[in-house]
Structures are given as structure tokens and as C-alpha cells.
Amino acid sequence: MVGGGPAGSAVAILLARAGLKVCLLEKSHFPREKPCGEYVSPGCLSILDRLGLLSALEALDPQPIRGMRIVAPGGTVLTGVYPGNGTVSHGYSLPRYRFDALLFDAARKAGVECHEGWRVFDLIREGGGVAGVVADSEGRSRSFTASVTIGADGRNSVVARRLKLFAWHRTHRKVALLRRFQMPVDVGDVGEVYLGTTGYSILNPQGRGVLNIGVVVDQQDLPLHQAWERVLCDLFVAYPRVRGMLEGAHPLNAIRVLGPLACRATRVAGDGFLLVGDAAGYYDPMTGEGVYQALRGAELAAKTVAEALSNGGPTAGGLGRYAVCYRREFASKDRVCQLLQQIVCRPRLCDLLVRRLNDRPIQVEELLGVVGDLLPAERLLRPRFWTSLFWKRPLP
């Protein structure tokens, strides 16, 4: 297992509980920072519950996120809560260094052989397939052989690159700048998205006045040869409400920069290997799909590996079932993300849709249900959903 983030740790936990011997390699040492919006969607909570980690997460006292507030470029505001069965659902926000450390520690407790500070730099090949990895730590190299090598090592996956499966998205070239601030006042329990003419800003409260703020912008719009402090300050000019909120606020960490964001793997499974989480592909952080995709993908990967090892071995055919399940699980959400990005980059259309949504609570519930990973993404791909936004009267 390469990568000790949510995807790698979750797969390792599930495989260890299935009675398999698991080795997990992480290049950093925990706790470690991770550039991220630091949002755990409502749909993640059922997966964490199945992992037996929901109570441990809640013991960290994360900030519940009960809905979203969307501010269109023209200033129109849309606020909605996550749908639930008779109650309001919620997600959580907390620093990734705490969330990731929780999962990594759970993997160790599950019996996983965990190695921190080991950087994978090559693969072991055998008979046309992958048979393990080569890693180094503090100047010494070591080979780790395995029946199945799982790449859960993020957007710049070494596993995907060595297999020549990695590719940046050709047109969607976004960069995110993120920072936590201590705010002078409490910032509530609703995540906020401020849509601009060239990008957007996302705000996630983390409790006790802490706010994680991210600004996402086209790579071509980033100024060259400037300090990140100045770049972030200049980007806030496009979001006067956010800039106003930061008066009297104090930064809590260094600016974290991530980009280009969108990437893909041409294949997610093959002879002796699987790719999970961001290593399998990533598009954009606006809908917060990263952690959910990591955890749900981990469940699919663990099930596939366990079945393959008990039925003929980890061949391309046996592990290929993961690719089918992966597409079935995430293809619609990926299409939704791309569709929303097409709307966001058209300010006038964005303003119009936000105004229309304010009069259509059913559609708002569907939108937040999909974004929160509570409802099937197909619901936002139906023509009826979009035509109803332009109907003179809301459809029943």
C-alpha cells in the first residue's frame, strides 16, 4: 500500500480486518499538513461508521457543517441545508492533519505494518505485472514485495506515473491557495462558496472561530514571481465579502498551494495493481468529493482485492472488476462536477441559476444532497432538474 492518507489507510484497515497481511508506506510523518478544503461530506459519515471510526472522529470535536451558503458573482445568496430522513444531516470540518492521523493510527491498530518516512520511487515488475515497490528512507533503499500494490499516493501518484497511466487534465487547470485563520467572531456551522468571475473561494468553519479559507483560480491567472502572501492578498480583492471578514483575523499556518488540480489515470486497475483516491483521478474541490471518493473507493478496492486473492489471484481480469465498479460509482458525480464548472465560469448564467434556485427548495435539496454525497449524482443529470429552473412556475 503506497500512501497513508484517507484512501490508503481505509483500504489497509479493511484488508487487515479481512485477514490479509498489509504493509502501508507513507512518505511523511504524522501528523502532517495536507492542502485541502478540510471538509468531510455527510455521505462520508456512514462509511466512517462502517469502518468503526465515526465515534473516534466525533471525539476529536470536529465542527458540524449543516449546509452551504452560495454567493453568486452578482451578490445573490442561496442558503440550504443537507437533506435527511426527517432531520437535517451534516458533515464535518477539521484539519486534515488530525483526520489523517486518526485513520493512519486506526490502520496500525488493525494490525497493518505501517512505515512512515518511506518514499516510493519505483515499482517491482514481474511477468508483465506489478509485484511491489522500491522505497527509500534516510538514504537507505528497500524493496517491498506484494501480491497487490495499491497506489493511494495522491494526485502526483508515483505508482500511476511509473505505470505511465498519469495525465493532467488538458483544459481544466486550476490552482488552490489555502490557509486557516483565527477569526475575531464565531463563523457558524455553514460552509460558504463565493463565486467570482475567474474562480471561487470556499470557507469551511472548524469551530472556536477557526476558518479554513481556500481560493481557486485558473493557473494562467496566477501572477508570476510574487510571494504567496501577496498573491493571496491580491486574489481576495475579487471577493470583498471574504476580505471584509478577515479584518482582525490572524493566520494560523503557512499558505498551502496545490495545483494543477485536475488529473486522471488512464486505467485504475491492472495485473497486480489498483489506484485509489486522488491517484485514480481528481477534478475540482468545489463539490468536496475528495474525501468521499477516497473512502468509498477504498471500500470498492478492498472488496475487489479480497475476492481476487481468493479466486485465482490478482490478475488484470480479477482486479479489473474494480475499474467497472469505480466507473459505476463515480462517473455521474464526475459529470456533475464538470457541469457545475461550466456554469461557474459563466457569471451571468451563474447569477441566473442562483436566483432561480432561491424559489425552488426541492431543487436546492437535490443539489445539496448530491454535493453532500447523500443522493445519487444522476439526479442532477436529468433534463427535468435543469428545465424546471427556467420554468415560469416551479414543477410539482
- Chain centroid to CA 130: how far? 27
Give the integer Cα–Cα distance in Å for 99 and 60: 9
Q: Is residue 69 part of a domain?
A: no
Q: Is residue 70 part of a domain?
A: no
Domain match, 104 and 205 both: no
Residue 220 CB neighbours (<10 A) = 8
Q: Is residue 353 part of a domain?
A: yes
pLDDT at position 395 is 47
3-state helix, strand and coil shares in percent for the chain, rounded to the nearest 5: 40, 25, 35
Domain C-terminal end among 223, 258, 293: 258
Report residue 352 as a C-alpha cell.
Answer: 441566473
Domain match, 144 and 179 both: no
Among 214, 239, 12, 247, residue whose Cα is nearest residue 110: 12
Read off the pLDDT of residues 100-127 as tens digits, 9 standing for 90 and up.
999 999 999 999 999 999 999 999 999 8
77 CB-near residues (< 8 Å, 6+ apart)? 69, 70, 71, 354
> How many domains is the chain partitioned into structurally?
3
Is-contact 121 134, C-beta < 8 A? yes
Phi first, then psi: give them for residue 246, nearest 5 degrees: -85, 0
Domain match, 152 and 272 both: yes
Enter the pTM of the model: 0.94
pLDDT at position 393 is 55
User: How many helices (H) and strands (E) would you count in the chain?
Assistant: 12, 22
Is-contact 94 62, C-beta < 8 A? yes
Domain match, 226 and 151 both: no
- The cell 497487490 sits on which residue? 148
pLDDT at position 288 is 75
pLDDT at position 274 is 96
Give the integer Cα–Cα distance in Å for 298 and 321: 14
Q: Is residue 82 part of a domain?
A: no
Report residue 37 as a C-alpha cell.
Answer: 478544503
Domain match, 113 and 18 both: yes
- Chain centroid to CA 295: how far? 9
pLDDT at position 88 is 58
Among 43, 60, 82, 21, residue whose Cα is nearest residue 293: 43
Q: Is residue 14 part of a domain?
A: yes
**How many residues comprise the chain?**
396
Domain extent at residue 370: 347-389
Q: Is residue 73 part of a domain?
A: no
Mean pLDDT by 10 residues, the chain (396 residues): 96 97 96 91 95 97 95 94 78 96 98 97 94 96 96 94 93 93 91 91 94 94 88 92 92 93 93 96 84 97 95 86 95 92 89 92 93 94 86 54
Task: Find the CATH number of the domain harbouring 224.
Answer: 3.30.9.100
pLDDT at position 170 is 86
Domain match, 233 and 131 both: no
Report residue 304 as a C-alpha cell.
Answer: 475487489
